[in-house]
Amino acid sequence: MKTNVIIIHTDQHRADCVGAYGNRDVKTPNIDSLAADGVLHTNHFCSYPVCTPSRYSLLTGLTASCHLGINNRSTLPPGVATFASLLRDGGYRTAAVGKMHFTPTYFDCGFDTLTLAEQDGDGRFDDDYHKYLMERGLLDKIDLYDQRAEYRKNAPASYFDCFGARRSDLPREHHSTEFITRAALSQIDKFGDKNNLLMAGYIKPHHPMDPPEPYSSLYDPDALTVLGGYTKRLPETDKKKDAGYFDFDTLDEKKLRHVMSQYYGTISHIDDGVGLILKKLKENGLYDDALIIFTSDHGDYMGFHHMLLKSNYMYDPLARIPLIIKYPERMNKKGADDNLSSNTDVAGTILSVCGIEPAAGMRGPDLSEGNGREAVIAEQCRRASGWDYMVRTKTHKLLVSPDPGGDRLFDLARDPYETEDVSERPEYKEIYDELKTALFDEALRRRNAHAHRYDGAPLAGGKNNRDIKRERDIMIEYTKKKFYGEGDVAN
């Protein structure tokens, strides 16, 4: 049976910032329609709240301590299977568009074709999107402020005052979201008679929150409901953990509402792109029999504990992500699924639906069978202090950290905003011991503090390292001239 697979992957997208998850402010009618046709997973979590490690976990079904991609400059080791490589081996035509965040940029992990729009590292100097902008004499200057230290030092005070949340300096038709949507539509038109895999990775709503018009003005900040868990000041425990990408002491509710309005604007912009993708699939007679997945790599605090973005404790707004699976019509699967699941469970589920044997390491539950976990575990390697871990059940969460203060346990039924540590209370000792045992059983025995990187790894799409280096140098020089030629002074 023909089964095309389409994965729509956003970046830094909280689960509760989708209409289908109960958010009454954000406008996501197209994502909501996909949820109505599929299964909405209400307790889905990432296994590592950082872009590249989370993406590699999605692809491989492995935790980062197993696949070794523990930071944003890492490479999967040779021989590690992905659902893309296994589908390709099974006769699928495989393509990826948008943000993949690989090292090297065009790393071959199973996609025959890569049309990339990157943001971080060398990727932005290697990718197709920034070549597209260069050909038109354009520069995503706000993104440079946000993503590159050598340009961030030139950012005006207004950028920091609004936490990088401002209208895009690019016209809508040249924004990354539009570029990625167009690339996805182009690939769908090439599907043909073979089974196809398409992964469309949107850069947004990752910071900077810079939607173009009309999305920048779509939301009235004063009309928005501040998301749960906002506090008037940053708790000292969190401040000691990580001071943050911005100075959160300057954040107040008015500024937060503005950031939310731009965050929601980027989400609604993506939603319109999702609508075009779904429309194209229907027009081409591909929608009913397709496996369509909507998910993200990690969330965003968006005011929780007075923070924005990521890089602190694995609280729910950071760790909990959307997962919507629209199965082929013949499987007749719809509704909500409140089982606990991890993004490491997605690879095996895709292969199961497509009738392809998963790799040995893809041991997660098959979500297509309605299976779930007793607990989900997430991890993060911090070079200075070691590994952080999260163990979460439906009712409790244990955070394990080598930082001063040690472990923290939250009773989520009583304290959904994770403000009261009960790890030392006698009445919670049994729960604490159970979660700590689960962590040691599933995570600590597999940890590895070495990020695997290999710049000479095989490249996809006929790319070679010599041409990549030459084109990267051209892009870096263009970026410098375009940036500093518009009024800034290089320091």
Cβ(125)–Cβ(472) below 8 Å: yes
Instruction: Tell me whether residue 404 is in a domain.
Output: no
Q: Which phi and psi (to 5°) does residue 387 adopt? A: -100, 140
The angle subtended at Cα 372 by Cα 336 and Cα 296, nearest 5°, is 65
Task: Give the pLDDT confidence score for residue 491 in this predicted structure.
Answer: 38
Instruction: Tell me whether residue 408 is in a domain.
Output: no
Cβ(27)–Cβ(313) below 8 Å: no
Helix (H) or strand (E) holding 231: none
Instruction: Tell me whether residue 455 is in a domain.
Output: no
Per-residue DSSP letter, 358: P
Q: Whole domain around residue 340: which residue ranges?
A: 5-374+462-484
What CATH number is attached to the domain comprising 227? 3.40.720.10
Classify residue 135 as exposed, middle or buried by CB count within 10 Å of its CB (0-12, 13-18, 19+). Answer: exposed
What does the DSSP assignment read for 364-397? Answer: S--GGGT--BS-EEEEEEETTTEEEEEEE-SSEE
Q: Which phi and psi (to 5°) does residue 466 adopt? A: -65, -50
In this structure, the dihedral spanned by the alpha carbons of residues 310, 313, 317 and 323, taken in order and rounded to 10 degrees, is 90
Instruction: Tell me whether residue 174 is in a domain.
Output: yes
Instruction: Tell me whether residue 187 is in a domain.
Output: yes
Task: Give the pLDDT confidence score for residue 384 in this predicted structure.
Answer: 64
Domains of the chain: total: 1
- Cβ atoms within 10 Å of 157's Cβ, excluding its own: 7
Low-confidence stretches of the chain (pLDDT < 70) are: 1, 384-385, 404-405, 443-451, 486-491
Separation of alpha carbons 108 and 102, rounded Å: 9
What contacts 24+ positions apart, CB below 8 Å, involve 348-352?
348/61, 348/83, 349/325, 350/5, 350/83, 350/87, 350/291, 350/293, 351/83, 351/86, 351/87
Instruction: Tell me whether residue 440 is in a domain.
Output: no
Instruction: Tell me whether residue 133 is in a domain.
Output: yes
Instruction: Tell me whether residue 436 is in a domain.
Output: no
Instruction: Supply the pTM of this predicted model.
Output: 0.92
